[in-house]
A and B are shown apart, each in its own frame.
Chain A
Amino acid sequence: MEEFLQQLTNGLAVGGIYALIALGYTMVYGVLKLINFAHGDLFTYGAYLGLTLLTSLALTDRLGFALGMLVLVLMVMGLVAVLGAILERAAYRPLRESPRLSAVVSALGASIFLQNALMLLYGARFQVYPNILPATTLNLFGLYLPLMRVLIVLASVLMMAALYLFIQKTRIGAAIRAAAIDQGAARLMGIDVNRVILLVFLMGPALGGTAGLMVGLYYGQINFTMGWVYGMKAFTAAILGGIGNIPGAMVGGLLLGVIEALGAAYISIAWKDAIAFLVLILILIVRPTGLLGERVADKI
């Protein structure tokens, strides 16, 4: 039982990261019906920008730990969001009216470009974050819970909840939902669809970049290819939850993390990815639109 709970928390911490990245995939897909393959790389940029800002500005020394961290998170969010917007302008907007395949190829190209640009800028070696997080480990009934893991899960859930409320309760959120249902009709209702798309490309990367920063801070080791594995997993999580659906991405991410941890614990470590994908296939057989996905007429 103790080991089960331990593995459950292990899974939730990993899943929280997947979920944050998955939101970016799902929002872009919801509005543009495009899989933004470069999203995993924006996650990596978050990790690298965080490292550079952390080491060059010494924020935590100047502003104190909590405030310094907050400023760091906001700066990374802002910078990665700008990157996301540039990506949209450069790689996707010119192809808006082209066949969908062109945009997918452009996404793959952007991913390769971003990854290799990072390698040329920072070098191919692993980069390592300075170890500034308090190494407090909570001990709950024999359960080992490093404080930072708890904070990672809390921070991801908070950000996801904020995003959900934003999408559901604000006028801009309503505009995003409208554009996701029918861009043409939304335009006729006076919604500036280009701005909605820009907004989606600001918010998704901001969350993905924050996830990258959290991975860097907690795991310490980053490299320019890390976006591939995380991107793949997050993409899977988005499909698992129902792509295009925001709560679905959250549920899918957390669930995928937990399935992986429990699969590793009780079946086989080497097979954990196979198990996770098997569960994905089974869920898609029963519910082709994913766990929370709705059947929308124009969805492919």
Chain B
Amino acid sequence: MKQHLLALVAAVGLVVGGATAQAADTVKIGLMAPLTGSWASEGQGMKKIVELLAEQQNAKGGVLGKKIVVVTEDDGGDPRTASLAAQRLTTQGVVAVVGTYGSSVTEASQAIYDEVKLPQIANGSTAIRLTEKGFKHFFRTAPRDDEQGRMAAQTIGKLGFKKVAILHDNTSYAKGLADEAHALLKSQGAEVVFFDALTPGERDYTAILTKLKGANPDVVLFTGYYPEAGLLLRQKKDMNWQVPFLGGDATNNVDLVKIAGKEAAEGFYFLSPPQPQDLDTPDAATFLADYQKKYNELPPSIWAVLAGDGFRVMVTGIAGAKSTDGDKIAGYLHKDLKNYPGLSGPISFDAKGDREGEVYRVYKVDAEGGFVLQKL
């Protein structure tokens, strides 16, 4: 067994191009997160959560009798930076990687990890095609867009809206979700009166809102991210336009209300896996208390918590496979991990590495700027 392990270490060493000899008394787990760039608040939340969980796991004896070391690389929320970050992680002797947030960013790193058989578990990437490429070492704790697309179409139907405008931002996540919802809405008989994309990162969206208003929709489905959603809501209110907005899960961030202002944000619907504070698993309550104690704030969003789930799943995978071999960990996660009690609920994976089971809920922003779970 020991020889076997040595051979493995040697093999990994060869694969990664003669990286430094690995210290045998630690298990390194990589974290790839957007620590800078416009999603930096998510990334820093991910880092805080994973570091907290690693600390707790080490206090319980680590994994395989060794200490866990978290190696963090910044992907900047940008595909080009992500591929560099992925290459750096593969040469640092990590045995598994947690992350990352944006779908296009994750996509840029998938092949790099898969080539060296590193199990990767994404936390915020919901684009469908990520798990349709046959990567055997790729998993995600996040649900898929088609599930969210179904939920969006269903919610619009339940709320009784007939004329729908769809706005995305051309990122692979937002466009995927918009396309999915578009097809489903048409098949359920709703009229899609507008379908276009805005450019994220700008401040002034009045040109788009003026055009949207001209299409006269009953509801606007915006599938992009919270910074733009906040500005849209704020500028929509300045225009005295009363149309309701429904957002995808990337609008689920407390900063949305800060950006839009409470008045403008009131009545905004969005789809999301449950909020950190709405998590009802027994582990979640202790985790949230620990997090608050250490960092004196709540996690920024569920996506950061899903990175925590990803980390715990990987640790369980390593312990369950009794090995740091990528194939063995991936095999364990595919076949043997059933209903693992994650912070966000039970976790199992199908053959593609997707998480099984329904995760989405509908939320509405109240007059105080709080996110209230809706029963539809």
Q: Which residues of A line the B interface, CB within 8 A?
A: 3, 6-7, 10-11, 13-14, 116, 119, 123-126, 128, 131, 135, 137, 144, 146, 215, 219-221, 223, 225-226, 228-230, 260-261, 264-265, 268-270, 272-273
Contacts and interface: CB of A to CB of B under 8 A. Distances in A.
Contact of B207 (A144, A229, A269): A269
B240 interface: yes
5 contacts: A3-B211, A124-B35, A125-B300, A144-B240, A221-B259
Contacts of A116: 36
A231 B139 CA distance: 39
A112 to B, nearest CB: 10
Contacts of B41: 123-126
Nearest to A257: B204
Nearest to A269: B196
B202 A229 contact: yes
A223 B258 CA distance: 13
B40 interface: yes
Contacts, number: 97
Contacts of A6: 210
Contacts of A144: 239-240
Interface string B187-210: 000000000111101111011101
B204 A10 contact: yes
Given A126-B258, A268-B196, A260 B207 contact: yes
Contacts of A220: 231, 234, 259, 261
Contact of A225 (B37, B206, B235): B37
Nearest to B255: A126
B261 A131 contact: yes
A219 B203 contact: yes
Given A10-B206, A144-B240, 6 more contacts: A126-B41, A219-B203, A219-B204, A220-B234, A221-B259, A269-B198
A273 B202 CA distance: 11
Given A10-B206, A125-B255, A265-B210, A272 B199 contact: yes
Nearest to B199: A273
Interface size class of B (residues with CB under 8 A): 35 or more
Contacts of B44: 124
The 9 residue pairs across chains A and B that have the minimum distance between CB atoms: A124-B40, A270-B197, A261-B207, A219-B203, A221-B259, A264-B207, A269-B196, A125-B41, A10-B206
B203 A215 contact: yes
Contacts of A226: 201, 203
Contacts of A272: 199, 207
Nearest to A270: B197
Contacts of B37: 225
Contact of A3 (B38, B199, B214, B300): B214
A11 B214 CA distance: 17
A13 B36 contact: no
The residue among A125, A137, A261, A273 with the most chain B CB atoms within 10 A of its own CB is A125
B170 A10 contact: no
B227 A223 contact: yes
Nearest to B168: A270
A128 B214 CA distance: 30
Interface string B10-50: 00000000000000000000000001111011011000000
The residue among B43, B170, B196, B204 with the most chain A CB atoms within 10 A of its own CB is B204
Given A13-B204, A119-B36, A124-B40, A269 B197 contact: yes
A270 B231 CA distance: 17
Interface string B246-264: 0000000001001101000
B238 interface: yes
B347 to A, nearest CB: 28
B99 interface: no
A270 B170 contact: yes
Given A131-B261, A223-B38, A10 B199 contact: no
Contacts of A11: 207
A125 B40 contact: yes
A116 to B, nearest CB: 7
A225 B200 CA distance: 12
Interface string B96-119: 000000000000000000000000
Contacts of A221: 203, 227, 230-231, 234, 259
Given A7-B207, A128-B258, A270-B197, A137 B238 contact: yes
